[in-house]
């Protein structure tokens, strides 16, 4: 989805700083040591997208990205509440990560070669397979994106969505007028008010936006998906152990689902004879120590936040979003975790 560049020197400087300080700390991770000393994980999110990160009626941040933050906090502290959510825009999110304003960025950000090669940051996994789509008002009378010649399109500037839209119209030999607005809520309001004919974003974000509208039947999600958008958490380069923690906390959610471990039943699984299950629960091996965490790190993440299916059902399933390719590999999807051994 969202794309931006930052001067390479600044990115490398941030990575070099972390690499240099990590050796001076007991855990081998400058970020982990800073998080523990602070007593709180600082997690960069969007804060405006239903299903990913959006405050509920009580002000609690909910969504799969918010729960990703909580899972890391649970793995590190044994307490998912020890997280501070920092809403970031498409424009400032990478700067916030590189300047260490946040410890991790979990904000519907597309994994691309350009970002990983030039920003001094890397992706720790894919928490959602997505693609760019178009949402139109039913009154517009179109059934396909190929009918959008001459349309005005609301889109965020400096994002991979903007590039995907431009590429689509150029390849289809269609004309369009982009309406560039940085804030997602403002884009949504512009679309509702009729300032643009269609709204382009990740298809998941469009679907969740439509699902939350009282008059949702007035909007049509066009069938075309015009790009690949694998979304996932980002961390700074140069702190490999922190990268491992963020990556394997996410993998733990998938492994737990595969084993049938849930927040409700995980305590009853302590008698399992399955080798991977015993390592997961901290009953055997020293994988937690290898991460700089205690042996219950994965247990805590699942017990207190849930496995990948629980998180999906709670945050996206409730909005009517089908899991599709985001299901586990053994259920027809693309989600797959390496062995925990």
User: Of how many residues is the chain composed?
Assistant: 341
Each as own residue / partner, the long-range contacts of residues 75-78 (CB below 8 Å, 24 or more positions apart, any chain) are 75/245, 75/249, 75/252, 75/293, 75/297, 75/298, 75/300, 75/301, 76/32, 76/35, 76/36, 76/41, 76/245, 76/293, 76/297, 77/36, 77/39, 77/41, 78/294, 78/296, 78/300, 78/304
Residues 6+ apart with CB under 8 A from 196: 151, 152, 153, 154, 179, 190
Last residue of a domain, one of 192, 227, 262: 227
| Residue range(s) defining the domain that contains residue 143 | 132-227
Last residue of a domain, one of 176, 196, 227: 227
Last residue of a domain, one of 227, 251, 267: 227
Task: Count Cα atoms within 13 angstroms, Cβ side, for 183.
Answer: 5
CATH number at residue 202: 3.40.190.10
Quick: pLDDT tens for 207-243: 889 988 999 999 999 999 999 999 999 999 999 999 9
What is the CA angle 82-77-79, rounded to 5?
55
What is the number of structural domains in the chain?
2
Q: Mean pLDDT throughout 242-258? A: 98
Band (pLDDT 50/70/90 cuts) for residue 118 is very high
Q: Mean pLDDT throughout 123-133? A: 95
Q: Are residues 235 and 114 in the same domain?
A: yes
Tokens of 326: 């985001």
Inside any domain, residue 29: yes
pLDDT the model gives residue 22: 39
Spatial CA neighbour of 1 closest among 108, 128, 135:
108
Q: Are residues 317 and 257 in the same domain?
A: yes
Quick: pLDDT tens for 103-115: 999 999 999 999 9
Q: Are residues 119 and 14 in the same domain?
A: yes
Res. 18: pLDDT tops 50? no
């Amino acid at each position: 989805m969202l794309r931006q560049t930052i001067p390479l020197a600044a990115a490398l400087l941030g990575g070099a700083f972390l690499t240099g300080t990590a050796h001076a700390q007991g855990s081998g991770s400058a970020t982990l040591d800073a998080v523990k000393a602070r007593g709180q994980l600082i997690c960069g999110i969007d804060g405006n997208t239903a299903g990913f990160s959006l405050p509920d009626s009580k002000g609690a941040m909910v969504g799969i990205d918010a729960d990703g933050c909580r899972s890391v906090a649970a793995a590190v502290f044994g307490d998912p509440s020890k997280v501070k959510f920092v809403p970031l825009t498409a424009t400032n999110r990478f700067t916030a990560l590189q300047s260490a304003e946040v410890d991790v960025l979990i904000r519907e950000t597309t994994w691309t070669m350009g970002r990983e090669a030039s920003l001094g940051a890397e992706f720790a996994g894919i928490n959602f397979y997505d693609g760019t789509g178009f949402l139109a008002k039913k009154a517009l009378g179109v059934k396909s994106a190929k009918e959008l010649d001459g349309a005005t399109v609301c889109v965020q500037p400096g994002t991979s969505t903007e590039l995907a839209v431009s590429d689509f119209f150029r390849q289809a030999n269609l004309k369009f007028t982009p309406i560039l607005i940085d804030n997602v809520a403002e884009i949504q309001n512009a679309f509702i008010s009729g300032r643009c004919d269609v709204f382009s974003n990740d298809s998941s974000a469009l679907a969740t936006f439509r699902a939350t509208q009282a008059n949702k039947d007035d909007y049509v999600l066009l069938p075309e998906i015009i790009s690949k958008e694998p979304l996932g958490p980002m961390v700074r380069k140069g702190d490999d152990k922190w990268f491992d923690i963020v990556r394997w906390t996410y993998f733990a959610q998938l492994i737990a689902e595969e084993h049938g471990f849930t927040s409700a039943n995980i305590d009853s699984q302590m008698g399992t004879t399955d080798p991977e299950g015993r390592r997961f629960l901290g009953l055997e091996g020293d994988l937690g120590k290898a991460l700089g965490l205690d042996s219950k790190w994965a247990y805590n993440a699942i017990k207190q936040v849930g496995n990948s299916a629980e998180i999906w059902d709670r945050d996206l399933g409730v909005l009517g979003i089908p899991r599709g390719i985001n299901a586990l590999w053994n259920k027809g999807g693309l989600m797959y975790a390496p062995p925990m051994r």
